[in-house]
Amino acid sequence: MRDDPRLRGRPLAVGGDPGKRGVISTCNYEARAYGVHSAMASAYAKRLCPDLLIVPGRMSVYREVSAAIQAIFADYTDLIQPLSLDEAYLDVTASEACRGSATLIAKEIRQRVQATQGITVSAGVAPNKFLAKIASDWNKPDGLKVILPHEVEAFVHDLPVTKLHGVGKVTAERLKRVGVDVCSELLPWRKQDLAREFGSFGERLWQLARGIDDRPVVVESKRQSVSVEHTYEHDLPDLVACLAALPPLLDKLAERLGRLDSVYRVSKPFIKLKFHDFTQTTLEQAGAPVTPEGYAELCTQAYARGGRAVRLIGVGVRLDNAHSPMGEQLALF
Given 30, 64, 87, 328, the catalytic residue: 87
CB burial class (10 A; 0-12, 13-18, 19+) of residue 323?
exposed
- Please give the Cα distance from 23 to 263 (Å, whole number): 34
Q: Which residues pair with 80 in a beta bridge?
A: 90
Report strand pairing: 12-15 vs 53-55: parallel
* Residue 180, φ and ψ in degrees, nearest 5: -115, 115
- Please give the Cα distance from 183 to 172 (Å, whole number): 12
| 242 within 8 A of 313, measured Cβ to Cβ | yes
CB burial class (10 A; 0-12, 13-18, 19+) of residue 331?
exposed
Active site residue 87: yes
* Alpha-helical segments (H) within 118-238: 129-136, 152-157, 169-177, 191-198, 201-208
Please give the single-letter amino acid code of residue 283: L
Binding site annotation covers 251?
no
Binding site annotation covers 86?
yes
- Please give the Cα distance from 75 to 302 (Å, whole number): 48
- Please give the Cα distance from 313 to 264 (Å, whole number): 24
- Please give the Cα distance from 141 to 158 (Å, whole number): 22
Name the binding residues for Mg(2+): 3, 86
Residues tagged active-site? 87
